[in-house]
Chain A
Amino acid sequence: QPIQMENPYKEPPKKCVLCGINVDYKNVQLLSQFVSPHTGCIYGRHITGLCNKKQKEITKAIKRAHVFGFMPVMFKNPSFLTDPKICNVKY
């Protein structure tokens, strides 16, 4: 008779890119990776591919960095333009 057990071949839950990383308004480089280089607008969840919590944290941190004078608003800081691509953007 078959024994009831949970799926032994279960894959570990998929982690988003920022799953273990602490998001802070001070590290502008991390925040700039989720911002458009042309307009400076924040990418949505369907582009960044982040989980609920992290997307909210990133948005709040970016807005804070804008207000406190850490991150530019209308564009992406030119020194961070050559950072590796995380988001699913098609230019």
Chain B
Amino acid sequence: MPRYELALILKAMQRSAAINGTKLFPLLFFLRDRLLQTTLCLLWSSGQPETAAVLKRTVEALMERGAVVRNLENLGERSLPYKISKHKERHRRGGYFLIDLEAPPSIVSPMMDHLGRDIDVIRRAFIKHPVSKTEECSGIIPVNYEDKLIAKKK
């Protein structure tokens, strides 16, 4: 199965002062991935249970359709580079998340549909996992302009 990367921008939540952690923690342990558990626990404890809930349901939807989630990274909550209007709201801040996954190509379009219907997702993007290959970079080869000019046109 080819590797994909899902770049998600989620709605920035209002900071909640009092968190009812004790009631909601048992829910988390139904998830199989430990990475997921740790990231969601961190989010929960830092006062953003809604973000954790969005991520949880996204990942569950992905796993339902047969994707294997490798890694979930939080790139932090920052102010967006431009104001984005989505789902009848003008957003200025958002939480950036990166999901590394392996999935069959047939789930890309249904997943984009599904994420488009979710109110808390501002922007979604599926990319083929970037393969970093920079070992064989030979420098700038000087171009012989004379030869190029006189060369026969194919």
Contact = CB atoms under 8 A, between A and B. Distances in A.
- With a 10 A CB-CB cut-off, give which of A14, A15, A20, A68 has the most chain B CB atoms: A68
Describe B's contact surface by its main secondary structure: strand
A86 interface: no
Contacts of A26: 75, 98
A13 B140 contact: yes
Interface in B87-128: 94, 96, 98, 122-123, 125, 127
B137 A19 contact: yes
Contacts of A74: 82
Contacts of B130: 24
B22 interface: no
Contact of B139 (A51, A64, A68, A69): A51
B19 interface: no
Q: Which 8 A-B pairs have the closest CB atoms?
A: A13-B139, A72-B81, A15-B139, A22-B132, A68-B125, A69-B123, A51-B140, A19-B137
A77 interface: yes
B81 A73 contact: yes
Contacts, number: 50
B140 A16 contact: yes
- With a 10 A CB-CB cut-off, give which of A64, A70, A71, A73 has the most chain B CB atoms: A70
Interface of A: 12-16, 19-22, 24-26, 51, 53, 64, 67-74, 77
Given A69-B84, A71-B81, A20 B125 contact: no
Nearest to A51: B140
Given A69-B123, A77-B81, A20 B140 contact: no
The size bracket of the interface on B is: 20 to 34
A12 B142 CA distance: 12
Contact of B81 (A19, A24, A64, A69): A69
A68 B123 contact: yes
- With a 10 A CB-CB cut-off, give which of A26, A51, A69, A77 has the most chain B CB atoms: A69
Given A15-B140, A53-B137, 14 more contacts: A13-B140, A14-B139, A14-B140, A15-B137, A15-B139, A19-B139, A20-B137, A26-B75, A51-B140, A68-B123, A69-B122, A69-B123, A70-B96, A73-B82
B138 interface: yes
A80 to B, nearest CB: 11
